[in-house]
C-alpha cells in the first residue's frame, strides 16, 4: 500500500480548496468547514489486483487544541468512476482530526 500526501494549497493536488471558519461565540470555539476535490492519480494495468493506497490530505489548518470527544466531526465523500475500458472505485474507511 502506497501512502500519498496531498496539499490543499496545491491546486494540482486538491482542486477548489475552500474554508469557512465560523466563530461560535466562546473563546476557541469554532466550526471549521473545509472542502475540496482530492486529485490522487492512480494508474494500474493489473485488473486482477486491487490497489489500496492511503491518501492523506493536508488541509493547511492547525487546531490549537484537540476538541473533546463528541465536540467534533469529520466527514469525507467518495466517488465512483467507470467506463468501458476500466473501473475505478474510490472509497473511504476512516477520517480523523
Counting the structural domains of the chain, the total is: 1
Predicted pLDDT of residue 88? 62
Would residue 60 count as lying in a domain?
Answer: yes
Residue-level pLDDT at 49: 59
Show the domain range for 77.
Answer: 3-90
Residues 24-29, mean pLDDT to the nearest whole number: 82
Q: What is the pTM of this model?
A: 0.63
- pLDDT tens track for 36-84: 888 766 655 555 556 667 788 888 887 777 778 877 877 777 665 556 6
Whether 95 is covered by a domain: the verdict is no
Q: Is residue 85 a part of any domain in this protein? A: yes
Residue 96 lies inside a defined structural domain of this protein:
no
- 29 vs 2: CA distance, rounded Å: 36
Strands 87-90 and 54-58: what pairing? Answer: unpaired
In this structure, the chain runs to a length of 97
What is the structure's pLDDT at 15? 87
pLDDT given at position 2 = 77
Residue 97 inside a domain? The answer is: no
DSSP assignment of 21-79, as one string?
Answer: EEE-SSTT-EEEEEEEEE--------TTS----EEEEE-S---SSPPPTTS-------E
Amino acid at each position: 500500500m502506497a501512502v500519498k500526501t496531498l496539499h490543499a494549497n496545491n491546486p494540482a493536488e486538491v482542486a477548489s480548496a475552500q474554508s469557512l471558519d465560523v466563530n461560535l461565540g466562546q473563546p476557541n470555539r469554532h466550526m471549521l468547514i473545509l472542502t475540496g476535490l482530492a486529485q490522487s492519480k492512480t494508474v494500474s494495468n493489473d485488473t486482477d489486483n486491487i490497489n489500496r493506497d492511503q491518501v492523506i490530505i493536508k488541509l493547511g489548518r492547525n487546531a490549537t487544541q484537540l476538541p473533546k470527544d463528541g465536540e467534533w466531526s469529520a466527514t469525507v465523500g467518495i466517488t465512483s468512476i467507470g467506463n468501458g475500458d476500466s473501473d475505478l472505485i474510490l472509497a473511504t474507511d476512516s477520517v480523523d482530526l
